[in-house]
Amino acid sequence: MTQATADRAPRPSRPATKPHGQWKVDGTAPLNPNETWKQDDGGLNVRARIEQIYSREGFDSIDGTDLHGRFRWWGLYTQRKPGIEGGKTATLEPHELEDKYFMLRVRIDGGALTTEQLRVIGQISVDFARDSADLTDRQNIQLHWIRVEDVPEIWRRLEAVGLSTTEACGDVPRVILGSPVAGIAADEIIDPTPLINELAERFIGDPELANLPRKYKTAITGHPSQDVVHEINDFALVGIVHPTLGIGYDLWVGGGLSTSARLAERLGVFVAPEVAAEVWLGVTSIFRDYGYRRMRTKARLKFLMNDWGPVKFREVLEAEYLGYALPDGPAAPKPTSPGDHIGVHEQKDGRFYIGVAPTVGRISGEKLLDLAALIEAHGSSRLRTTPHQKLVILDIPKDRLESLLAGLEPLGLTAKPSIFRRSTIACTGIEYCKLAIVETKVTAATAIAELEKRLADLVDAGELEDPISLHINGCPNSCARIQTADIGLKGMMLPTPDGDPTPGFQVHLGGGLASSNREEAGLGRTIRGLKVTVQDLPDYVEQLVRRFVAARSEGETFAE
């Protein structure tokens, strides 16, 4: 336990009910095994053991709590053994389900990458990860098939170019989502880059914030498209112009998906750029000190926000953590453009940025290497990952656009994706994820290819122009944000007449976040009994889209 932790005096005040495990209310005594090991020996401490023991002595030397707990603080999860079906995991011991290889998550705060960094990730993939690489919907890049023996060398290479896996997973401040067009878009309200860099440099790896009740997600944008899915983060700032105080941010707190999905709420304050880092620290500290730690299923900040509400949350933030009141602030207006940045757009300096779509974020190490070379050959050295499993290439001169666009196509990166490829995302799924029930990436790619063929008539006739988002999860967690999609699919085993369960999905309909084609954010509805097998998915989506196009009134969106 740290000194600061020990100094937090217990404040027992709720003897009549079971304690929630809030440090400032109930004291810091751990109420479950997870909280015990986090206090005894924090996740950050495992790095020394990985470097000095586990990488030398191999997988079988790894302590169980390190393997299934502390490794996450360094972006490492064991991956699923190949060939274990989704319906067969409940009775398996961890060692029967997990492989001796790891998924390694490289955190990319703000999604900001140089071609030098991209080349390093690509070469690590080729050398140590069987050429695997997935762009995630939180702007990270995930590699697979990593051996513990290779982790120190991977860290050495990453850290030499300013990248890391520090706190990429675990009960910590995770990667900071940032607008993929920060600092370059002509219509930007405020550039969040200095703030994102300050937060990453000051607080990532800070032991005082390395034992939160659960994961803590941050998103910051200054772009009017509101391009960082801010409503489903624990802490989010959205750029606004205050009528008298000037440019700053609107603060949102307490969003999160998975079970008990909840959109974040505005605190109604104006956050000036110069206090934004302190406000982030205040909200994060509230989570550390008041977050619920007794049950992990109730530990995300959204549960505290649900009980407190935004008025009390603001009061505690101002009175106990900032020591001053924040001014009231307006909400940001509805976005006027899509936040995925697909296509070619002019920057404020007259050069261009290009948003391109791999299929459901899947790429490879070799392709990352080729992409770095291609970008450099066209006069740029910068790109961004996005919260939509896409990439944005920056700083391309006008006279190099055509050549670059042609060079991207053979890499599977197109700036003119079909509406289906553009708006479909999928989580890792059964290929690598131990929690998965169904396969997702191939299922999604198959659905995209089928829908491109089957619905070409509607697209060609101009009857289907706006993307209809299809988000595919391999289990009831929500890594692919199923509640925020027009069509969200939650992986599960479905009964069949012959009694042999088959992989399929529970369907959620009508969700969506702030966007140019819906009035306000809302979570999708689970339609009871509406389930579809993996095999029938293209048929189902095709019929649903055809029914929507045939029945809609003018201007009606899918969500309505």
Binding site for ligand SF4 (CB under 6 A): 427-429, 433, 435-436, 473-475, 477, 479
**Shorter beta-carbon distance to ligand SF4: residue 122 or 361:** 361
Q: Which is nearer to ligand SF4, 67 or 444 (CB)?
A: 444
Question: To the nearest whole angstrom, how small is the minimum distance from the Cβ of residue 475 to ligand SF4?
Answer: 3
Query: Residue 493, class by beta-carbon neighbours within 10 Å (0-12 exposed, 13-18 middle, 19+ buried)?
Result: middle
8 Å CB contact between 173 and 203: yes
Beta strand 487-494 with 502-509 is antiparallel
Burial class from Cβ neighbours inside 10 Å (0-12, 13-18, 19+) for residue 149 reads middle
Task: Please give the structure tokens belonging to residue 141.
Answer: 């890049």
Nearer residue to ligand SF4 within complex by CB, 365 or 474: 474
Q: Min. distance of Cβ 439 from ligand SF4 in angstroms?
A: 10
Residue 390 Cβ, how far from ligand SF4 at the closest point, in Å? 18
Please, what is the minimum distance in Å from the beta carbon of residue 356 to ligand SF4?
23
CA–CA separation, 542 and 470 (whole Å): 12
Cα dist from 406 to 4, 374, 375, whole Å: 56, 10, 12
Give the phi and the psi of residue 455 in degrees, each rounded to 5.
Answer: -105, 15
The least distance separating ligand SF4 from the CB of residue 142, rounded to whole angstroms, comes to 10
Nearer to ligand SF4, 219 or 479 (CB): 479
Give residue for tokens 């001796």.
100
Closest contact distance (angstroms) between CB of 453 and ligand SF4 is 27
Distance of alpha carbon 294 from alpha carbon 34, whole angstroms:
10
Tell me the closest approach of the beta carbon of residue 136 to ligand SF4, in angstroms. Answer: 9
Name the region of 180 (left: φ>0; alpha: ψ -120 to 50; beta: rest).
alpha
Question: Of 42 and 429, which has the nearer Cβ to ligand SF4?
Answer: 429
Q: How far is the CB of 137 from ligand SF4 (least distance, A)?
A: 10
Closest to ligand SF4 by CB, 220 or 433: 433
The residue among 488, 465, 463 whose CA lies nearest residue 551 is: 463
CA gap 302, 325 in Å, rounded: 23
Whether 480 contacts 137, CB under 8 Å = yes
**Beta carbon nearer to ligand SF4, 479 or 513:** 479
From 111, 106, 108, 82, select the one nearest 96 (Cα to Cα): 82
The answer to whether residues 519 and 503 touch, using CB atoms and an 8 Å cutoff, is no
Q: Which is nearer to ligand SF4, 279 or 444 (CB)?
A: 444
SS3 assignment, position 236: strand
Residue 428: CB minimum distance to ligand SF4, A:
4
Q: Distance of alpha carbon 412 from its chain centroid, rounded?
A: 22
Nearer to ligand SF4, 303 or 432 (CB): 432
In a 3-state reduction of DSSP, which class is residue 538?
helix
User: Which secondary-structure segment (H or E) carries 306?
Assistant: helix 301-316
Instruction: Name which of 417 and 474 has its Cβ closer to ligand SF4.
Output: 474
Nearest residue to the partner ligand SF4, using Cβ? 474
Q: Which residue has the tokens 């101002």?
A: 318
Q: What is the phi/psi pair of residue 288, to 5°?
A: -60, -45
Q: Which is nearer to ligand SF4, 43 or 491 (CB)?
A: 491
Residues 367, 371, 377, 378: is their CA dihedral positive or negative?
positive
Report in angstroms how near the CB of residue 389 gets to ligand SF4 at its nearest.
13
Instruction: State the nearest-atom distance from the C-beta of 228 to ligand SF4, in Å.
Output: 19
Query: Where does residue 509 fall: left (phi above 0), alpha (psi -120 to 50 degrees), or beta otherwise?
Result: beta
Question: 157, 152, 220: which is closest to 192 by C-alpha?
Answer: 220
Q: Beta partners for 266?
A: 252
Decide whether 138 or 294 has the Cβ nearer to ligand SF4: 138
Closest distance of CB 539 from ligand SF4, Å = 23
- CA–CA distance, 552 with 560 (Å, rounded to integer): 9
